[in-house]
Amino acid sequence: ANFSEQVVESFPSDISTGIYYGWACVGNGDVHKMVLSIGWNPFYKNIKKSVETHIIHTFKEDFYGEILSIVIIGYIRPEKNFDSLEALISAIQEDIEEAKRQLDLPEHLKLKEDNFFHLPESKIVNNH
């Protein structure tokens, strides 16, 4: 789930590029573990900074147009380039496993229940 350019530009300018972990919620749905990439994705040679959220959950359908709420809990590693797509995929899998380990810690699990993730009815999009 990628954030729009407008949302990316509203992120704090002093946040370091790299890979983070935390919690994510689509609309008023369940809260799931996530890995977040902030940066230019050097492997793909992006010229614009992006913020890409990988929610560690399989959804039954697309959720374009929904509100994505995230809480960034911790930092995994800096952004880097890779020699191959296979190396990139391997690093992503390692990032996901690290996120799962970290988010299972009691101090991180309690943030999953934060009221931040409960949208008021007026903010729900597409009847969700």
Question: Which residues participate in catalysis according to the annotation?
Answer: 52
Q: Which residue, chain included where needed, has tokens 């990316």?
A: 8
Q: Which residue, chain included where needed, has tokens 């040679």?
A: 45
Angstrom distance (rounded) from CA 18 to CA 49 = 11
Angstrom distance (rounded) from CA 33 to CA 98 = 11
Cα–Cα separations (whole angstroms), residue 80 to 27, 92, 114: 31, 12, 32
Phi, psi of 64 (to 5 degrees): -55, 140
